[in-house]
Each structure stands twice: as C-alpha cells, then as structure tokens.
Amino acid sequence: MRPSVVAVVRTGTANLASVETALRRLRCEVEFVADADAVARADRLVLPGVGAFAAARHAVAASGLEDALRDRIVQGRPTLGVCLGMQLMARGSEEAPGVPGLGVLDAVAERFGDGQRVPQMGWNRVVPTDGSRIVPEGFAYFANSYRLTRLATGDRGGDWSPAWSDYGGRFLAAFERGTVVGCQFHPELSGAYGRTLIARWLAS
C-alpha cells in the first residue's frame, strides 16, 4: 500500500521536526508547503504552531495562505490544527488584539486566569463528547498559555464536536467536524494517545 502523503504548513513558528517524526512513524510521506496552491491541492494537511499568535498569523498572511486554509476547512477537507494551529482557526486571541484569525470557529483564545502557572506544560486529561470519532479519551501533552473556553453555539458547538480538559476551569482541548480536527494539545508529543489520534485522522 502506498504511504499517505501529508502536507505540513511552514508557519515559521512551528516545531516541524516533531510533527514530521510522528507522521513518518505512521508510514506517511511528509511534504512541507508554504504556498496557496499546495495547501489547496493537499489531500491531508497539518497546520502546526508554537509561539506567538501574531507571528504565526503574519506568516500565514505573508505566504498568502488565508483563503486556501479557510476554504479547505469550510469544505471539510482533511485538516489537523495543532496547538497554535488550532487557535488560528478561531476569530482571534487576547494575546494579539486586533489580529484576526481565520474565523472558521466563532471563538477567541483567552489567557489562563490569575493564579494559574503559564504556560500550562504537561499531561492533562482529554474528555471527548459522544459525537467525537477521531479524538479519543485519555491524557495528552499540553504547552499553552491561551485557550478557547467555549464554542459559540454552546457546549455541543453546533456541528462541531468538542473535547474538554481542565486547568483552572474547563477549556476546549479539541474539536472535530468530519475530517477537520483542532487540538490544543500536541498529539505528536503525546505518546500512544497521540499516535491513536493521528492514525484515526489518517484513516478517516
């Protein structure tokens, strides 16, 4: 069987090595992309990210990727947003007021509240809702100072299926709709749990 080919977006703020390693362990071929045509034609695409919201968003804009990314997510084509890549799918982030996200999820990333050590770094439980097919229940590795606390249409999020975690209060650990998945955690750093999630996404 021919290995799956997965395109990984070069956002300029991502730890691409760990994402590449996780995909290759699942017998995938990895193609790094940074232009709209490649994003549009990719069968499967990962939007990774670590670091600052504004820097990642400006990198996406500088490469002219906004419309291609937004279109494939709206169309339900296989896309996996990881950590900051997930937050880029939202309307924006308190970290960068006035800097718009892709806006496919009607939510804004908020900083963890006073009294919580940030960034949150370590393992935390992920609890999916009944509609989740790709995101399993279990423990995943997080490294984040900002998080999404709700979906705009309530806990079920309309046609998005959320998964929740808790760190000083409940927050959105992941969401999925068909083959579009956003993960606040790092599946590529989450051991067997992360391999299961990525394998389910590849098979979906």
> Active-site residues: which are they?
83, 186, 188
122 contact partners, CB below 8 Å, separation of at least 6:
141, 142
Report how far residue 115's alpha carbon sits from residue 50's, in angstroms, rounded to the nearest whole number. Answer: 23
Q: What is the CA radius of gyration of the chain?
A: 15
Q: What gap in Å lies between CA 14 and CA 48, rounded to an integer?
A: 6
CB 126 within 8 A of CB 135: yes
